[in-house]
């Protein structure tokens, strides 16, 4: 990407000057290092061992992604680099107007308090990375407790800030880590939704597509300052990917406060609307594929799942054209990004069931099929925090009498098929192919089958499909709008 290449040349002179400045700063800090090390050690790590009472009742939250549909995410860093590296990093963040969260090890804050204070002065926040950036999960409870407390005290002493969140070196945690964090007043143990390591031989375009594919609203991105050798490349990529999606980087505390608490599944009305039912032999179902109407109205439907990038693009197109659609979700994707499913529901679309793992329903047992349907129902319900549209679409459209009865017996008695099939799931079909197929097949009452998959041309074709059909006088409806009127065939 040119955004990376162009900046490298313009920064050579500035970095030469910065290097000289950094040497002066490091020299002055070096004279203090042994003194600070001794102070930190005597305060925390070398105290006589005492037995720490295990906190068995209270645990801090564990957060790797925040439940929100706001277009916000957090950029976080582990560790603390030297003065020169931190100067470049902070300047980059300023350039792209990103406010970030830095998880700092207490021992490094003690050695370089001026750097920690500079981070805060630039508008970022600092949190607790334990004293020595250790993987706390490898320690005893007593050691965990001491590491968190010692780092917390050092950060407070050197910066005046009391950390609210803690992260282990790898972002991993156990129940004991959560208990030790709570014992020291930490509100949460923070993981991540994406840990960005060093690039290998990817092209600029491949790097961009990777980043955009794996960032999402409510996400927490982590980079290790010492391990990552490509910060100068990664920050522009992260900035561009978020900007292209209309997302904003906010400090972690704001992201968490802007998020919502998810209700447990069993507290959501309708969570048990789908159940395993072995007695499916006499179950009745309604198999529908189009609306029974003379009016010029059609239903847009989308199957499966896709990356945040692709699905958000589809949602934005629908919003721009003020069209409501029906989404049939593959739940093994939903569970990885519940915020995306919730965004569909909040936008007023139908959110319906397309199984958990997308098996061919006629090639598995009725019992396995019911498990797929019920598991998907529960995941989707928890993701959107409400009862889904009680519509089921079989993967690949595959169904027979036995599978239909098994599905209906779970509570999904309306099996929603389709009448317009542009085969958009095949990446060989261009946007023109998809548009032409839809326009050729659509008539009054059509149910149009489209997909949310990555690396296909549906999102490119969608605006033209909507605009052309609207020119022909068609109105778009959700499938549930007509379900209650029983206008199906």
Domains of the chain: residue spans and CATH: 53-258 (3.20.20.370), 265-483 (3.20.20.370)
Residues 188 and 444: their CA atoms lie apart, in Å, by 54
**pLDDT band at 22; cut points 50, 70, 90:** very low
Q: Which residue among 349, 354, 451, 457 is the active-site one?
A: 451
pLDDT for position 8: 38
Question: Has 303 been annotated as catalytic?
Answer: yes
Q: What is the mean pLDDT of residues 335-346?
A: 97
Would you say residue 357 has pLDDT above 60? yes
DSSP state of 249: E
For the four alpha carbons of 79, 80, 84 and 90, in that order, the dihedral sign comes to positive
Q: Which residues are paired to 303 by β-bridges?
A: 328, 451
Residues 93 and 90: their CA atoms lie apart, in Å, by 5
pLDDT per position as a tens digit, 94-130: 999 999 999 999 999 999 999 999 999 999 999 999 8
For the four alpha carbons of 138, 139, 141 and 146, in that order, the dihedral sign comes to negative
Residues 108 and 105: their CA atoms lie apart, in Å, by 6
**pLDDT band at 36; cut points 50, 70, 90:** very low
**pLDDT band at 373; cut points 50, 70, 90:** very high
**Ramachandran area for residue 225 (φ above 0: left; ψ -120 to 50: alpha; else beta):** alpha
Q: What is the mean pLDDT of residues 44-57?
A: 52
Q: What angle do CA 244, 206, 432 make, to 5 degrees?
A: 65
Q: Which residue among 92, 145, 176, 303 is the active-site one?
A: 303
Q: Are strands 188-190 and 165-166 parallel, antiparallel or unpaired?
A: parallel
pLDDT for position 31: 35
Would you say residue 49 has pLDDT above 80? no
Q: What is the mean pLDDT of residues 407-436?
A: 97
* Residue 64 tokens, joined: 């790797």
Four-CA torsion 410, 414, 415, 421, nearest 10 degrees: -150
Return the closest-CA partner of residue 73 out of 172, 193, 188. 193
Question: Is residue 476 within 8 Å of residue 298, measured between CB atoms?
Answer: yes
Would you say residue 281 has pLDDT above 60? yes
Return the closest-CA partner of residue 328 out of 420, 397, 421, 403. 397
């Amino acid at each position: 990407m040119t955004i990376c290449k162009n900046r490298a040349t313009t920064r050579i002179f500035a970095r030469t000057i910065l290097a000289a400045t950094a040497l002066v700063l490091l020299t002055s800090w070096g004279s203090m290092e042994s003194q600070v090390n001794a102070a930190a050690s005597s305060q925390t790590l070398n105290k006589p061992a005492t037995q720490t009472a295990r906190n068995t009742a209270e645990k801090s939250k564990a957060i790797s992604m925040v439940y929100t549909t706001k277009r916000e995410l957090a950029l976080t860093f582990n560790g603390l680099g030297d003065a020169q590296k931190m100067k470049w990093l902070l300047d980059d963040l300023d350039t792209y107007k990103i406010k970030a969260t830095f998880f700092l090890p207490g021992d490094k804050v003690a050695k370089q308090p001026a750097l920690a204070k500079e981070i805060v002065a630039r508008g970022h926040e600092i949190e607790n990375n334990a004293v020595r950036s250790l993987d706390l999960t490898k320690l005893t409870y007593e050691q965990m407790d001491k590491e968190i407390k010692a780092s917390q005290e050092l950060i407070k002493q050197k910066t005046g800030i009391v950390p609210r969140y803690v992260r282990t070196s790898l972002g991993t945690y156990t129940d004991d880590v959560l208990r030790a964090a709570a014992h020291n007043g930490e509100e949460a143990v923070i993981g991540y939704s994406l840990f960005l390591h060093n690039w290998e031989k990817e092209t600029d375009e491949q790097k961009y597509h990777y980043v955009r594919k794996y960032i999402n609203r409510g996400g927490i991105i982590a980079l290790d300052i010492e391990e990552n050798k490509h910060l100068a490349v990664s920050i522009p990529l992260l900035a561009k990917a978020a900007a292209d999606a209309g997302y904003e980087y906010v400090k972690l505390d704001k992201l968490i406060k802007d998020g919502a608490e998810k209700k447990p599944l069993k507290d959501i009305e309708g969570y048990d609307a789908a159940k395993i039912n072995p007695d499916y032999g006499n179950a009745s179902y309604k198999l529908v594929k189009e609306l029974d109407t003379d009016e010029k109205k059609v239903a847009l439907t989308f199957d499966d799942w896709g990356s945040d990038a692709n699905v958000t693009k589809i949602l934005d197109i629908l919003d721009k054209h003020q069209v409501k659609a029906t989404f049939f979700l593959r739940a093994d994707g939903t569970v990885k990004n519940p915020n995306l499913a919730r965004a569909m529901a909040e936008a007023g679309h139908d959110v319906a069931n397309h199984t958990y793992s997308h098996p061919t329903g006629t090639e598995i047992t009725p019992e396995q099929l019911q498990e797929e349907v019920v598991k998907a129902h529960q995941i989707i319900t928890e993701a959107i925090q409400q009862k889904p549209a009680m519509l089921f679409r079989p993967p690949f459209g595959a169904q027979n009498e036995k599978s239909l009865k098994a599905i209906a017996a779970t509570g999904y008695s309306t099996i929603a098929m389709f009448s317009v099939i542009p085969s958009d799931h095949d990446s060989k079909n261009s946007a023109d192919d998809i548009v032409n197929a839809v326009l050729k097949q659509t008539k009054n009452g059509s149910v149009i089958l489209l997909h949310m998959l990555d690396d296909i041309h549906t999102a490119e074709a969608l605006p033209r499909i909507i605009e052309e059909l609207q020119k022909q006088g068609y109105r778009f409806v959700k499938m549930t709008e007509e379900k209650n009127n029983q206008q199906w065939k």
